[in-house]
């Protein structure tokens, strides 16, 4: 840091050193590459989903989830007490995040379309579908809707990848595809 002004006060009239010009150019071009990569990866990367988002009160979202559970429950997941729900193909399916669980377990059919609604009842959670590496931030008061078509059968884990409190590491959910 200079304590006194430069001797030539109009420093911006001095020529830019060649190496500085090279680095400014490299940084600018790299910025452009990364900008266009974001757009390219959204279309071709199959990781950044095109989602819709709507405002919703947590209590209202919980009502919708419970209505689906009451209608389409087919059992419970192990001894966890979390219901397993099998909604009809093509329908709206709901999963909520709350400290510290994903609720309920969804059973979907391979090759069918679903509109998956996600929201949180309390704090921000991260919906991370494993092992396909799909990530969405789930906020209270916002309902994220994505159209999903399962392409493989099996059990897919849903982990929370946004630290949400003391039980964060136990926040494991499941989507089962048959």
Least separation in angstroms between residue 94's CB and Cu ion is 17
Residue 162 CB, shortest distance to Cu ion, in Å, is 6
Distances (CA, A) of 168 to 18, 70, 94, 163: 52, 27, 21, 6
- Asked if 172 and 161 count as a contact pair (C-beta separation under 8 A), the reply is no
Q: Which stretch binds Cu ion (CB under 5 A): 38-46, 120-128, 135-143, 149-157?
A: 120-128
Regarding 174 and contact with Cu ion (CB under 5 A), the answer is no
Stretch near Cu ion under the rule CB under 5 A, chosen from 68-76, 86-94, 131-139, 164-172: 164-172
Nearer Cβ to Cu ion (65/160): 160
98 binds Cu ion (CB under 5 A): no
- The backbone torsions φ and ψ at residue 129, rounded to the nearest 5 degrees and listed phi first, read -90, 120
Q: How far is the CB of 174 from Cu ion (least distance, A)?
A: 15
Closest among 126, 88, 82 to 107, alpha carbons compared: 88
Q: What are phi and psi of 49, to 5 degrees?
A: -80, 150
Residue 125 is a binding residue for Cu ion (CB under 5 A): yes
Starting from the edge strand earliest in sequence, which strands make up the sheet with 125-130, in order?
73-77, 82-85, 105-108, 172-177, 154-160, 125-130, 134-138
Q: Does 105 sit behind a cis peptide bond, omega within 30 degrees of 0 on the bond before it? A: no
Nearer to Cu ion, 103 or 114 (CB): 103
CB 155 within 8 A of CB 178: no
Binder to Cu ion among 118, 148, 171, 175 (CB under 5 A)? 171
Interacting span for Cu ion (CB under 5 A) from 16-24, 26-34, 110-118, 160-168? 160-168
Which of 93, 96, 138, 160 binds Cu ion (CB under 5 A)? It is 160
Name the residues that contact Cu ion, by CB under 5 A.
Answer: 125, 160, 164, 171
């Amino acid at each position: 840091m200079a304590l006194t002004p430069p001797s030539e006060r109009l420093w911006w009239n001095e020529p830019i050193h060649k190496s500085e010009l090279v680095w400014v150019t490299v940084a600018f071009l790299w910025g452009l590459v990364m900008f266009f990569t974001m757009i390219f990866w959204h279309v071709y990367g199959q990781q950044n989903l095109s989602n819709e988002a709507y405002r919703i009160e947590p209590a209202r979202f919980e009502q919708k989830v419970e209505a689906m559970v009451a209608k389409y429950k087919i059992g419970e997941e192990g001894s966890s007490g979390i219901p397993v729900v099998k909604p009809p193909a093509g329908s709206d399916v709901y999963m909520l995040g709350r400290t510290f669980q994903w609720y309920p377990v969804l059973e979907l059919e391979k090759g069918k379309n679903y509109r998956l609604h996600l929201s949180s009842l309390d704090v921000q959670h991260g919906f991370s579908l494993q092992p396909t590496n799909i990530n969405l931030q789930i906020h209270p008061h916002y309902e994220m809707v994505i159209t999903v078509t399962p392409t493989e059968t099996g059990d897919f884990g849903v982990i929370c990848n946004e630290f949400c409190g003391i039980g964060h590491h136990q926040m494991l959910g499941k989507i089962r595809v048959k």
